[in-house]
Chains A and B, each alone.
Chain A
Amino acid sequence: QKEVEQDPGPLSVPEGAIVSLNCTYSNSAFQYFMWYRQYSRKGPELLMYTYSSGNKEDGRFTAQVDKSSKYISLFIRDSQPSDSATYLCAMSPNTGANSKLTFGKGITLSVRP
């Protein structure tokens, strides 16, 4: 079993839809959870950062972490064509320079006008 599993997609939705992206993980030591967005031929950019369990909201984006189920989600409300990108979940057990991020494989989202 991989440490982090992410539905590979791709996912296509109409503009205005609510999008739900999910990752599961097996390492109970993970405490820090991130979602990165990567446009084609660009580097990943951070969307959301969460420590431990709970919800975090930023504009149209909501990140949820359920450590008991080892499950994290990213919700995008009122999706826009500009949200079309690859979304990567990432997580790590601790802070520090040598703390490695473990990434999911990424899911490509397409929002149709």
Chain B
Amino acid sequence: DTEVTQTPKHLVMGMTNKKSLKCEQHMGHRAMYWYKQKAKKPPELMFVYSYEKLSINESVPSRFSPECPNSSLLNLHLHALQPEDSALYLCASRPVRRDRNSGANVLTFGAGSRLTVL
């Protein structure tokens, strides 16, 4: 299995709703990521989990709450979002190895969850 699976593919929510995005990988990768991508822009890093512990939070507003229940799963809980939070949310993973030629820096991305906040 060489995939990162994200659900749902599309989500429409109101500003008062609570919803969650889910991400799953079975490649044994111990680093998992959430990125946000606006139209015609590159992905922007939001959170990094390393061995199921949050290691980087790129000053993301608290209305986004990540969770890593185990080494295969990553969630992003959404609450009280704003219309400007509408974007493609990408999950990614990669192995944590030091072999410089192993492709350890290569992120495998999911297809994304397209979020629309009304």
Q: Which residues of A contact B (CB under 8 A)?
A: 31-32, 34, 36, 41-46, 49, 51, 88, 92, 95-101, 103-106, 108
Q: Check if A98 sits within 8 Å of B108, measured CB to CB.
A: no
Chain B, residue nearest A8 (CB): B40
Q: Which residues of B contact A (CB under 8 A)?
A: 4, 6, 30-31, 40-43, 45, 48-51, 55-56, 88, 90, 92, 94, 96-101, 103-112, 114
Q: Check if B97 sits within 8 Å of A95, measured CB to CB.
A: yes
Q: Check if A103 sits within 8 Å of B48, measured CB to CB.
A: no
The 7 closest A-B pairs by CB, nearest first: A97-B31, A103-B42, A97-B50, A43-B109, A32-B105, A95-B104, A43-B112
Chain A residues whose C-beta falls within 8 Å of the C-beta of B98 in the assembled complex: 95-96
Q: Check if B97 sits within 8 Å of A103, measured CB to CB.
A: no
Q: How far is the CB of B23 from chain A (nearest CB, A)?
A: 11
Kindly state the separation between the CA atoms of A99 and B97 in the bound complex, as whole angstroms.
12
Asked, given contacts A88-B42, A95-B98, A96-B96, whether A101 binds B105 with beta carbons under 8 Å apart, the answer is yes
Q: Check if B56 sits within 8 Å of A98, measured CB to CB.
A: yes
Q: Check if A46 sits within 8 Å of B101, measured CB to CB.
A: no
Kindly state the separation between the CA atoms of A88 and B109 in the bound complex, as whole angstroms.
13
Chain B residues whose C-beta falls within 8 Å of the C-beta of A105 in the assembled complex: 41-42
